[in-house]
Structure 1
Amino acid sequence: MPLLRRVIGAVLRKVRLGQGRTLRQVAAEAGVSLPYLSEVERGTKEASSEVLAAICRALRLTMPDLLDEVRREMLLAAQPAGRSQFRTALAVQRGQGPRVSISRTMVCARTVATVRL
């Protein structure tokens, strides 16, 4: 399992490069030093939530979008090659009172099946 700070840094770098922006541009807009942003992207520094929020704003990326992408990367890294993995999703539905549904999704190389519990 990779370290969280490394995955966060890799995602931030991927977004920045995808936008065709330099470290210098993003660091200036986020209000952090260029060396510090570089260390965050390389996963050698653990950024505070305030710094991550500033970097996200500079990249025009929402924090939930960053965390969603980090989650996807962590799941991919945790999944052994050629083996199935179960993911559990919890959804709360509003309406006539709270209803909770839990579903388990089995992810295989070629098949996705959802089982309602």
Structure 2
Amino acid sequence: MVLVRQEIGEVLRDVRLQKGRTLRQVASRASVALGYLSEVERGQKEASSEILASVAEALDTPISTIMREVGDRLAVIEGLTTVPDTLPDDLVAEFDADLAVR
């Protein structure tokens, strides 16, 4: 079974290492406990959207970039041969209809 929290943790760790930052530096800048961030990176804890946003900001990386990478990795694990770059037309139409109602 694929756990999204594990993929999120791996992506956060990969981005942190690519940026040459220590766990301590990112935790401090994101105002997150070092041990907690370590557990998130190892996929042991599920981070809230607020924590993910703080960590992304501490990494100077848009949260959309992090989530896109997570999505791409999940697609590979699920065996998808191609990862669509856009939403399907029927989903776009549904979003448009929802927005029109608001």
TM-score normalized by the length of structure 2: 0.79
Structure 1 unmatched ranges of 5 or more: 93-98, 101-117
What's 1:78 paired with?
A: 78
Structure 1: distance between partners of 2:14 and 2:2: 17
Q: Distance in 2 between matches of 1:72 and 1:61?
A: 17
RMSD: 2.1
Cα distance in 1 for partners of 2:82, 2:2 equals 19
**Residue number in structure 2 paired with 1:29:** 29
Does structure 1 conserve the Cα–Cα contact (< 8 Å) formed by 2:72 and 2:83? no
Q: Within the alignment, does 1:17 sit opposite 2:17 as a pair?
A: yes
Q: When you count helix as a share of all residues, which structure comes out higher?
A: 2
State the TM-score, normalized to the length of structure 1: 0.69
CA distance in 2, matches of 1:55, 1:87: 26
Q: In structure 2, do the counterparts of structure 1 residues 12 and 86 end up closer, same or farther at CA, with 3 Å as the change threshold?
A: closer
Q: Shift of the alpha carbon at 1:90?
A: 3.0
Q: Distance in 1 between matches of 2:15 and 2:74?
A: 17
Query: What percentage of aligned pairs have identical amino acids?
Result: 48
Tell me, in whole angstroms, the C-alpha distance in 2 between the residues paired with 1:20 and 1:46.
24
Work out the number of aligned pairs and report it: 90
State the shift of 1:87 in Å. Answer: 5.1
**Aligned twin of 2:49:** 49
- In 1: Cα distance, 2:76 partner to 2:65 partner: 17
Structure 2 residue runs without a partner (length 5+): 94-102
| Map of 2:69 onto structure 1 | 69
The structure whose residues are more often strand, as a share, is: 1
Q: Does 1:90 align with 2:84?
A: no
Cα distance in 2 for partners of 1:21, 1:49 equals 21
Q: Which has the higher contact order (CA 8 A, sep 6+)?
A: 2
